[in-house]
Structure 1
Amino acid sequence: MSPENRIDVPVEILENISDVFISIDPNFRVTYINKLAEEFSGREKRNIIGKTFLEAFPQTQNNVFHEVYFQLVNKKEFTEREKFEFEAVFDEPPLKNWYTVRVFSSKNGFNIFFQDITSRKTAELELKESEEKYRSLIETIPDSTERERQWSNLISNLPGMVYHCLNDNKWTMTFISHQCKEITGYDPSEIINNDIKAYNDLIFEEDREHVWSTVQNALEKSEPYETTYRIVTRQNEIKWVWERGVGVEDENGELSLEGFIEDINDQKLAEEALKESEEKYRALFESDPNYTILLGLDGYLLDVNPAATMITGLSKKELVGKHFIDLTIFPEEELVSHREIFSHFVTGKTIAPYESRIYDYNGKIRWIEIKQSPIRIHGEITHVLLICSDITQRKKAENKIKESLKEKEVLLQEIHHRVKNNMQIVSSLLNLQKQYVDEEETVNILMESQNRVKSMAMIHEKLYQSHNLTSINIFDYVQSLVKDLFASYSTPASQITPIIEIDNVNLNIETAVPCGLIINELVSNSLKYAFPQGRGGKIILSLKLRGKYYELIISDNGIGFPEDLDFKNTESLGLQLVNSLVGQINGEIELNRSQGAMFKIIFSKLTYKERI
């Protein structure tokens, strides 16, 4: 895999690499494994996540890895090794596999790579154990062609290239196996004796000193050498390789090298991509101004960012490893709800952002908005990321707005109350004036005026009594209005029956006042003229919402409206007022004279317009 084909999403990389990958948390419980790790354990992922490492992978006991593991558990000083090998024993069927292991510290535990090197290790051990046997055997073969065939068969099944080279600054190859072509892109004949290319020239320039010093230090101690480095292939591709070898002396005491080189590019790129991704995540995590906390599914804190430690006044060490319920940052009365919300979330339920309070480092209450984000691997939630935004200033602003609104509501209630009282005074004055007038027509005019004032005063009364100071429930209002009108005209309900059919409609004051006056005029008109000489009947008042518009119908089954009277062009003050008010609410009015009188008005709710 070339660098440009690197995948930035760690999970995709980890699922496609040729290594076993296992991630463990600070409590040494398994938090993630890839598919090869499932095969390695012989169990499904759901039966492994959450278990301790040794419970999940018993085959790693009684070997080098076991020693390293206990260094971590006992919190001894642990120096990351480039890699080490161990032998794992599997019971069913009985077999032994060899693995190269790399252990890396991570933000919330350790990441472990297991590379299966059984075939290589087997080949190495077999080669080492039988080297003398093969050498003596082959040397007894008089036919050099047969001897060459035997050596060729031996190395052809190895997963990398075998070489013999001089210990010079060019690493001059005297022998290199055919796998050279696959790994480097060069034919062995082009590398041998530096014919086209010296092997040292293939080594990435920045890595040459490292390779040289590693090999020479091992030779000085008469030990095998092992190293990883980069080469540049014929296709100009940078590739990671692993090399292991040993110094050998010929009969003249001349020192040369024999060894094995393997392509580990995919594994190395996966490690680098994971490290790069983690560094990006760490940078974002650490610089986030929100209080960010990583939780395990058991509710224990695995990581916190600097913002979280700063606001709580607790160090990272004091926070990580504790259950979020055991922290002293939440008010006691909110702990139960936090526990309930978290339990719902880890089972896969969607939880909307919610507000909570915490104590800061000074013991003062701060408001936060908590967003819980699941971290999923293959559809399964493995961790929970809490992102807590400080909304203290927003809450203070909201409280100020609420207080201001409350003050305005009280003020508005007082205004409506005073307007209603003033109108009541006007109504009372009109009522007193009636007592000093003898003419019936004048008395009627004063009573009609009094009813009009009452209809408007009643709206202001309903408004200041309502929780909503901008609109009133029209049904309650109309019932009270009609009841007052029947009382004004001394009309018993046994003679004329009021029938009110109104939807659950709320009208603002802009619309309610003209509607109230229209109802007052048309109902008054029916009470005065539709039922002469004690005649009985019905007055029906209906208000329905029809889409975007309202339909108001006021009808009676009395003697009917005079045929020769044009209600839109009349000297009657009441009807003139009705037509004017219908225009005010952008409505249309029509009269049906077929059965008594039926006025139908279609109108829309008015919106507030600023007065000058």
Structure 2
Amino acid sequence: MDWKLFELNPKPVLVYGVNSQRVLKVNQAFCKKYGYSESEASSLTIPQLHPEEQRKWAKKALEDIQEDSSSRNHLWRHISKDGEQFFVEISSHSYSYEEVNARMVFIHDVTERIEAERKAQKAFDELNHHVNNSPLGMVKWNADFEIIEWNDRAAEKMGYSSEEVMGKTPYDFNYHSADELETVEQEMDYLISGKKEKSRYDVKLYDKNSELIDLRVHASARRNDDGALISVITFLEEVTEQKKIQLRYQRLFENANDGIFLMEKDRFIECNEQVCTIFGCSKNEILGNTPADFSPEYQPDGEPSLQKARKVINKSLTEGPQVFYWQHQRKDGSLIDTEVSLNSVSLGENIYIQAVVRDVTKQKENERKLRRSEELFRNLFLQAPSAMVMVDTENNVSKINKSFEDLFGYTEEEVLGQNLDEVLSSGDGAPKMSNDGLHGNRLYTDIKRYTKDGEELDLLLSIIPVHLDGEPIAGFGIYMDISEQKEYERKLKQSVHDKKILLEEIHHRVKNNLAIVSGLLQMQVMSVDDERLASYLQNSQLRIQSMSIVHEMLYQSKTLSEIEMDSYIEKLVRVITNTLQPEDKDIDVNVSSEDFWLNINQAIPCALIVNELVTNSFEYAFEGRDSGQLDVAISKKEDMVRVQVQDDGIGLPENFEEMRKTSLGMSLIENLTKQLETEIEIESGDWGSEFEFTFIKADKPGSSSSGKI
């Protein structure tokens, strides 16, 4: 046994010993209902829960059921500690409690039901008295639906005397149609079978003079204690004029989009087709029933449908129109949400209740979805790991989440209604809300804000404006603490700056060292008498100067990995020209270079190739000539770099290919072109010589291919 369920049961429950009839255990609901504490209850016997005059009978009844192990319902009268008596219906079953033969008893308070039955009987007796003196036509039928009483008013309405109708049944009257007779038969069946205790229906039939009359029949059944029908009393109300009024009214609401029905007290007497659609049944299945018959047992607020229906109906009669939400139950058992409007109306001499029912199932579903979305949003907002704040159009704080409190140190109570910028001590022009919406177009920005304790924070702020019908209504700010990232960024920038200075210094020193080597070679050239050796030394000097120029330009440049090729080539060719230009010759040197940058690991081999080609032209191309022209061109189209060195000299010797194999310069050129992943193309004739090579511009890997600073 799960004693937790025992304790939490909302109904009184107890366990008693079969032999001793003593109470062994009770739950809190029992203590509350009977007024005993648990210790007081354990000193009671079951008969002591009954009034004094019933205790002997109760003891005997317990002895009769003590051997019955099955659950059985009994109706008893109990008494509380303070003497309050009430009716209970109990069910019990055998149970072993701490090795004692016991029974567990479930107690249900049915006092209201018993009292209601008594009141109903009293009301019936009173009604019987009034019926006999009623101005309405009264007809009393026996259990076989034979007339046993027929008052004078019934004789006036129908034209038949009492003697003429005694012993007759409803089948002996002349109805307007078969449908009328079918209605009467159906109501008779309801009363005979016990499906209804009361019935009200309208019928058209002919009186003794063959005149068609509309009658409203009010029927009430009387039964014996076994539920068998004893008699049925009916009151006949002529409603011919009222029917005419109803016909006009029917035309007004029959085709309405909303469900409309008419009630007399709490029973449906008329409805339009839309009601049938809402309830999912025919009109005959609706009329004569109550709203509770088309409702679940309980409404969503927990109140019984029958009780709540009577309450709002009475209010509509006494306090005026009532509008409320109601949950109906269709014939197939499905539930439907409706909005109901009740209003009392006068038709003829009678007061009725008009109800307008509108299906709001979709509306309710949309409301549920909206509430669910709001709950999801609320949880997302409150539980988000990032600090979030909602502001109005004046930038005043409407709501903050827990992460905001943790980040800035403020509670929600401290900042509600305050200007957000004033709270966070900011005035840096970051985006904010106003009557015109979000100021500025940036939705993400780095900002500095201050905590409650004055600590400065580096933050990433995201702004999300909210508009309704094109008008700003609020804004959300999302803050991410990037203080660590900012500190790392500052350190990284400092490190890069330091490395840049170091690289500049390295390039400067390399350039100086190369200049020293170049100067030494120049001095060596001037000190030797061997022209061939001097030429070798001079060529080496130019090669070193070519590399020195690179380091000089890198030192002076904003980048430490790329060279501006037009400046580089022009400077290189000028140095070569100034070094090799013969005094007895006039060599015109032209440099044509487009403005583009080249990675140092491609720029150096490219420049060294140009150095070798230009040097060779000065040394060999113009032998026996007083003048000449040398053109150097470098261009770029998309990613392709093209280099041309052309002279109008004497051309290459016939044995050039043999010389090429042993020439240090040509060997150097071939090695350098391999670094550029290309080959040099050579053309020569009596018009001169042309050297050309192309390669793909790329960020060539190497020690200096780190990109721009």
Give TM-score scaled by structure 2 length: 0.56
Asked if the contact 2:344–2:352 (Cα under 8 Å) also holds between the matched residues in 1, the reply is yes
Q: Secondary structure at the match of 1:463?
A: helix
**What is aligned with 1:579?**
670
2:648 corresponding residue in structure 1:
557
Alignment pair present for 1:232 and 2:329: yes
| Secondary structure of 1:552's aligned partner | strand
Aligned to 2:587: 496
Distance in 1 (CA, whole Å) between partners of 2:582 and 2:698 is 34
Equivalent of 2:695, from 586, 600, 603? 603
What is the Cα deviation at residue 263 of structure 1?
Answer: 1.9
Which residue type is aligned with residue 246 of structure 2?
A: W
Conservation of the 8 A alpha-carbon contact between 2:261 and 2:270: yes
- 1:289-328 pair list within 5 angstroms: 289-328=385-424
Q: List aligned pairs for 1:24-173, cutoff 5 A.
A: 144-154=239-249, 157=252, 159-164=258-263, 173=267
Q: CA deviation at 1:468?
A: 1.0
CA RMSD of aligned residues (A): 3.7
Matched with 1:286 is 382
Q: Deviation of residue 363 (structure 1)?
A: 1.8
1:399 is displaced (CA, Å) by 2.2
Deviates more, 1:442-451 or 1:562-571: 562-571
CA spacing shift, 1:189–1:589, aligned 2, 3 Å:
same
Cα displacement string for residues 285-317 of structure 1 (whole angstroms, at most 9, x for unaligned residues): 222222333344454444433333433333434
Change (3 A) 1:210 1:199: closer
**Residue in structure 2 matched with residue 202 of structure 1 by the alignment:** 295
Matches within 5 A, 1:484-563: 484-491=575-582, 495-532=586-623, 535-563=626-654
> In the alignment, which residue of structure 1 is the partner of 2:223?
none
Asked whether 1:416 is paired with 2:537, we answer no
Query: Hey, what does 2:368 align to over in structure 1?
Result: 272
- Letter of the aligned partner of 1:371 in structure 2? S
Partner Cα distance (2:293, 2:480) in 1: 56
2:449 to 355, 358, 361: 358
Paired residues of 2:640 and 2:696 also in contact (CA < 8 A) = yes
Please name the residue that 2:553 is paired with. Answer: 462
| Letter of the 2:295 counterpart | L
Superposed displacement of residue 518, structure 1:
0.8
**3-state SS of 1:540 partner:** strand
Distance change (3 Å), C-alpha of 1:516 and 1:226: closer
Q: In the alignment, what sits opposite 1:115?
A: none
Inter-partner Cα distance in structure 2 for 1:586 and 1:495:
36
Deviation of residue 569 (structure 1)? 3.0
Measured after TM superposition, the shift of residue 521 of structure 1 is 0.8
Q: Closer, same or farther in 2 for the Cα pair 1:490/1:219, shift >3 Å? A: closer
Aligned-partner SS, 1:597 = strand
Residue among 262, 269, 276 paired with 1:181: 276
Q: CA deviation at 1:446?
A: 1.0
CA distance in 2 between counterparts of 1:523 and 1:227 reads 101
Which whole-Å deviations, capped at 9, do the CAs of 1:102-136 have from their partners, x for residues lacking one?
xxxxxxxxxxxxxxxxxxxxxxxxxxxxxxxxxxx
Secondary structure at 1:566 match in 2? helix
How far 1:198 sits from its partner (Å)?
A: 7.7
Over 3 Å counting, the alpha-carbon distance change for 1:303 and 1:493 in structure 2 is farther
TM-superposition CA deviations, 1:400-445 (whole Å, max 9, x none) = 3222222322332233233333323322332333344221111111
Conserved? CA contact 1:345–1:351, under 8 Å: no
Alpha-carbon distance in 2 for matches of 1:485, 1:538 = 15
CA-CA distance at 1:503 after TM superposition: 1.5
Q: Deviations over 1:194-247 (max 9, x none)?
A: 5xx983453364546254454566789965666423122235543222345589
Question: In the alignment, does 2:524 pair up with 1:428?
Answer: no
Note if contact 1:585-1:605 (Cα within 8 Å) is conserved in structure 2.
Answer: no
Identity of aligned residues (%): 26
2:431 and 2:438 in contact (8 A); partners too = no
Amino acid at match of 2:692: K
Q: Secondary structure at the match of 1:362?
A: coil
SS in 1 for 2:485: helix
Shift of residue 180, structure 1, vs aligned partner = 2.7
Counterpart CA distance in 2 for 1:280 and 1:493 is 93
- 2: distance between equivalents of 1:345 and 1:535? 80
1:491/1:212 CA distance change after superposition, 3 Å: farther
2:331 aligned partner, one-letter code: R
Q: Which runs of 5+ in 2 are unaligned?
A: 1-214, 217-236, 346-350, 704-709
Q: Partners in 2 of 1:260 and 1:588 — Cα distance? A: 98
1:590/1:352 CA distance change after superposition, 3 Å: farther
Residues 268, 606 of structure 1: alpha-carbon distance in 2 compared, 3 angstrom cutoff: closer
Q: Distance in 2 between matches of 1:557 and 1:267?
A: 93
Amino acid at match of 1:552: V
Distance in 2 separating the partners of 1:454 and 1:568:
26
Aligned CA distance change for structure 1 residues 243 and 572 (closer, same or farther; 3 Å): closer
Change (3 A) 1:282 1:579: same
What does residue 6 of structure 1 align with? none
Residue identity matched to 2:618 = L
Q: Which has the higher contact order (CA 8 A, sep 6+)?
A: 1
Measured against aligned partners, the alpha-carbon deviations of 1:550-591 in whole angstroms (never above 9, x if no partner) come to: 100111223333344228834222122112211221112112
Q: Cα distance 1:382–1:546, how it changes in 2: closer, same or farther (>3 A)? A: same
Q: How far is 1:530 from its partner?
A: 2.5
Return the match for 1:262 from 345, 353, 357: 357
**1:606, CA displacement in angstroms?**
5.3
> Relative to 1, partners in 2 of residues 1:246 and 1:548: Cα closer, same or farther, differing over 3 Å?
closer
Please tell me whether the aligned partners of residues 435 and 472 of structure 2 are also in contact (alpha carbons under 8 angstroms). Answer: no
Q: Is the 8 A contact 1:203 1:229 kept in 2?
A: no
Contact 2:503 2:560 in 1 (8 A): yes
- 1:461/1:473 CA distance change after superposition, 3 Å: same
Taking the aligned partners of 1:235 and 1:293, their CA distance within structure 2 comes to 49
By how many angstroms is 1:469 displaced? 1.0
Give me the whole-angstrom Cα distance separating, in 1, the residues matched to 2:382 and 2:631: 72
Q: Distance in 2 between matches of 1:493 and 1:369?
A: 72
Per-residue deviation at 1:470?
1.2
Q: 1:352 to 1:565 in 2, by over 3 A?
A: farther
Larger Rg: 2
SS state at 2:336 partner: strand
SS of structure 2 residue aligned to 1:593:
strand
User: How far apart, CA to CA, are the structure 2 residues paired with 1:432 and 1:357?
Assistant: 63
Structure 1: how far apart are the matches of 2:438 and 2:248? 57
Equivalent of residue 388 in structure 1, options 471, 476, 479: 479
Answer yes or no: is the 8 Å Cα contact 2:683–2:691 preserved in 1: yes
* 8 A contact 1:553–1:598 mirrored in 2: yes
Deviation per CA, 1:237-258: give whole Å up to 9, x if none. 432223455899xxxxxxx994
Residue 568 of structure 1 contacts residue 576 of structure 1 at CA under 8 Å; is this kept in 2? no
Shift of 1:482: 1.6
SS of residue matched to 1:289:
coil
Tell me what 1:121 maps to.
Answer: none
Partner of 2:535: 444
Relative to structure 1, the CA distance from residue 236 to residue 592 in structure 2 (aligned partners, 3 Å threshold; closer, same or farther) is farther
Q: Distance in 1 between matches of 2:436 and 2:340?
A: 52
Moved more, 501-510 or 398-407: 398-407
**What is the deviation of 1:604?**
2.3
CA change 1:408–1:370 in 2 (3 A) is same
What is the distance in 1 between the residues matched to 2:572 and 2:583?
Answer: 15
